[in-house]
Structure formats: structure tokens, C-alpha cells
Amino acid sequence: MSHQSDLIASDILAYLKQHENKDLLRFITCGNVDDGKSTLIGRLLHDSKLIFEDHLAAIKKDSQKYNTTDDEFDLALLVDGLQAEREQGITIDVAYRYFSTDKRKFIIADCPGHEQYTRNMATGASTCDLAVILIDARYGVQTQTRRHSYIVSLLGIRHVLVAVNKMDLVDFSEARFNEIKAAYLEFAGALDIPDIRFVPISALKGDNVVNASAQTPWYDGGTLMALLESVKVDRDAQLNAFRLPVQYVNRPNLDFRGFCGTIAAGQIAPGDDVVALPSGKRSKVKAIVTFEGEQATAFASQAITLTLDDEIDISRGDLIVRAGDPQPSVAQAFDAHVVWMNESPLTVGKEYVIKLAGKSVFGRVSRIAHRVDVNTMAQTEAGQLGLNEIALVTVEVNAPVVFDPYAACRGTGSFIVIDRLTNATAGAGMITAAANRADGHSDDLDELARFRAFEVELNALVRKYFPHWGALEIPRGPR
């Protein structure tokens, strides 16, 4: 192993603690088919000495069986585990690999390059902080390069490493590398990717992957592994306000009622005032409960259970936010970019299930504002969306939902579209803003304010006509 430590032999608990505290980077490899994505991951693991001997022996045996390369063994077989993948020499499903170096832990999502599997690529990219986009040095920027880069931009990935692969087939030409670099930067100028870096590599031969290559003396930007170990992603959080989508209400006995979920943004501590949305009910955090016991504070990405001082109504799909923080939108319509993933086209007006931050509601696409041509970034009119097409649409749902713009918070700004008949995931969306409904009613409403007004009026009627019930007056205005 590349990060063997003396602590393993002398103090295994200290070693595990050291390993536990390492920074974690999730990244995706994507690009055109045959650009060498699976081979690159195999090379990363092999040159980092992270493949066990028996596994390597099995790969060598399969390499002879499938004859996928003229070399001693095909490193792509390390991640292409499906029979069909090995027979065709392509990646079909998203494959995840986990490894670590002495500086960082990694989770890799190896995604298919064929256009047919763009939906798999979007799924793999949805949880990543960085994308490695491979380009075959012989062919340069291709359609899938543009498509994947655009999806990476839509999904809010702010760091891209462009690995110009198969440099050995162009004699490690600096001129060819610079030509591809210029072409990519020209295309990427229209995308929202602030950090783009380039590295010339040969995944097959191992040049500039883990070890620096003697074939590229003109390149001094660091190997791919060095860049993966050093890129800073912890500063990318866009929203500091607290967001807890409620995934489960835990009530094991009469004395305990907790609200479970993974914190999407911000932090929380006992004693903080919180608001449950969309109801608008307020309470105070009593305790933060985890498997390890009660915590003094909790941060984004932690899975926790909150107990509150009051027995207010909170259900699965509600959102708990901290009072005083910037509030999310509560509305029944929003604009969003949608990547369509189903063989059946997206039809305007057809009813789907919209699942957003744990909440499922019926809804429909009421308007396609424009479809995006990923090759030219041109926006065109469309009546429906086909498989792998991308568009800006307006979505209407049958009940109020709570959300933030995707650019501010992934956890509360993304959703999936589910076909009601097949129960298949038909599309993935990234919310841009609240929208006006097709009937002209504004939903930037403040749906919460309407609920509050209704509650106040109902309370007044109850006190007027049923005074013997003893209902207490509730205050007007924000609570």
C-alpha cells in the first residue's frame, strides 16, 4: 500500500484515528467512449500499490480471456465488472471504487462514456465535488466531452481536471496538448466552472498519472494524483443557513420523538430556535442525538436526530431550518434545469411524482422554456424532451414544497422525476428559482404567509362561535 504507516504495527487505534480524520474527495471520471476512463482508474490504483496480489492475478487471467489489450493485463477490467462490459470493452453501469493515500481518502465514480448512458453519468456526478474529464489526444474535444462538461457545470461541480489521455499515441506532442487545451477553454467559457486544470497523461503507460513522466519535460503542472490530493473543495459550500430535510420521525416509545435526517447545510446546536416548513411552526432544539450519544453541535453532511422542546407537527419531507437564517422558498411552482433519463419522452402536462429532499408530491412540467444544444449551447424551442436531452422547464406541484436554488444548496435544490406507471426515475432536476404558475398565480408567494393568515382567521371563527371550547387567541404576524 502506498500509505503504509509504522502505526499499523505499533498502534493500530492511532492509525485508524489518523485514517478517519483524512479529508474525503468524491470525484467522477467521464468523457467519450474509449477515452480510457476505466484504464485510468486502474492505473491510479495500480501505481499507488492499492491492488491486492490475488485481485491483480485475477485481472491478468481475465485479460487473457477477453483479449482486450495487447499488454500483459488490462487495468480497465478492475472497474468493468459486468460480463457485458468486459465482452464489449465499454463501461455500462456506474462503478464506485474507494481508496486512500497518506493525504486524502477518495471515492471514484467511473461512469459510461456512451451517449446512451448519459443518465448514468449524471447520477454518478450528482454527489461529486470534482470531475476528471478525459479527452483522447488523437480526437480532441468530442460531443460527449461537451455534454459531460455541461452536465458537470449544471450539477454545480466547480473543479474539473481535464486529462488529455493517450499522449503516447501523439508522441507526447506539446503542440497537440495546447491545441486541445485551447479548444476546451473556448467551449468551457460559457460554463460555470471556475477551476479548470489540464494534465497530459497516458493511462495505459502510466505517464503523469501517479508518477511524473520523462516524456513531457515541457509540462510542470503536477501529476493527476498530485492534483487530486491537493485541490481544495472544502470552501465550496454556498449556503451557511441550517437545512435539515426530515427523512424519518423516530418514536420508539412515549418519551422520545426525534426527527432524523442528514444536514444539507449549516450547523445547529441545542437551544437554537427552529422553524418547521412548510407549516411554519416554531420550537427550540432540545438535543442532538447520534449513535455516539448527544452532541454539542452538528454540521452539514452529518446524519442526526433532533429532539425539540414542543410537540409540533413535523412529518417526513418537511424541512427544519433555524429561525433568523435566510429562509428557503415555499411554493408550488419552480423553474429548473432537467436532464431527461427515460426512453419515453417528457410530455408537458403529464402527471409525474416529484421527489424533493425526501418529500414526494404529484406534479407536472407545465412549460419547456428552451432546450439546450450541448454542442453549441444554443437554446431552441421544444414541445417535449427525449432521452438525454436537457432543458429549462417550469414544474408545478400539487402541494407546497420547500427548496433553495441548486447553486446555493444541492440537498434542498435538486429533485427527481418519477414515472407514475413504471415507478422508474425519468429525470433529474436542478432548481433555479421559484416561478409563476401557469394560471398566473404567483407562487413566490409566500405560501407560508397564506397558511398563517388562514390559521389566524380559523382561530378567530372558532373563538367566536365555539367560545366554550376555550381556544386561545394566536398572534398575528410572523412567529
Residue 260 in marked binding region: no
Is residue 262 within 8 Å of 301, Cβ to Cβ?
A: yes
Q: Mean pLDDT across the stretch 406-417?
A: 90
Q: What cell was used for 305?
A: 436526530
Residue 354, pLDDT above cutoff 50: yes
Q: Mean pLDDT across the stretch 11-17?
A: 72
Residue 200 in marked binding region: no
Q: What cell was used for 204?
A: 495505459
Residue 111 in marked binding region: yes
Higher pLDDT, 248 or 78: 248
Residue 32 in marked binding region: yes
Q: pLDDT tens across 426-452, in order? A: 999 999 988 866 555 544 445 556 666
* Cβ neighbours, 10 Å, residue 236: 14
What per-residue confidence (pLDDT) applies to 235?
52
In whole angstroms, how far apart are CA 155 and each of 150, 182, 431?
9, 24, 10
Q: Mean pLDDT across the stretch 258-284?
A: 91
Residue 350, pLDDT above cutoff 70: yes
Q: Among positive and negative, which fits the CA dihedral 82, 84, 86, 92?
A: negative
What per-residue confidence (pLDDT) applies to 271?
93
Instruction: For 26-50, give the DSSP string.
Output: EEEEEESTTS-HHHHHHHHHHHTT-
Residue 350 in marked binding region: no
Residue 232 in marked binding region: no
What per-residue confidence (pLDDT) applies to 65?
66
pTM of the model: 0.74
What per-residue confidence (pLDDT) applies to 460?
85
What per-residue confidence (pLDDT) applies to 127?
79
Is residue 91 within 8 Å of 110, Cβ to Cβ?
A: yes
Residue 37 in marked binding region: yes
Q: Mean pLDDT across the stretch 242-269?
A: 91
Residue 19 in marked binding region: no
What per-residue confidence (pLDDT) applies to 444?
46
Q: Mean pLDDT across the stretch 345-374?
A: 90
Residue 365 in marked binding region: no
DSSP conformation class of 265? B
Q: Mean pLDDT across the stretch 409-422?
A: 90
Q: Mean pLDDT of all residues in the chain?
A: 82
Predicted confidence band at 286 (pLDDT cuts at 50, 70, 90)?
Answer: very high
Provide the percentage of residues in the chain whose pLDDT is more than 70: 80
Q: Mean pLDDT across the stretch 320-331?
A: 90
Residue 55, pLDDT above cutoff 60: yes
Higher pLDDT, 277 or 118: 277
E strands in 101-220: 104-110, 130-136, 159-165, 195-200
Residue 1, pLDDT above cutoff 50: no
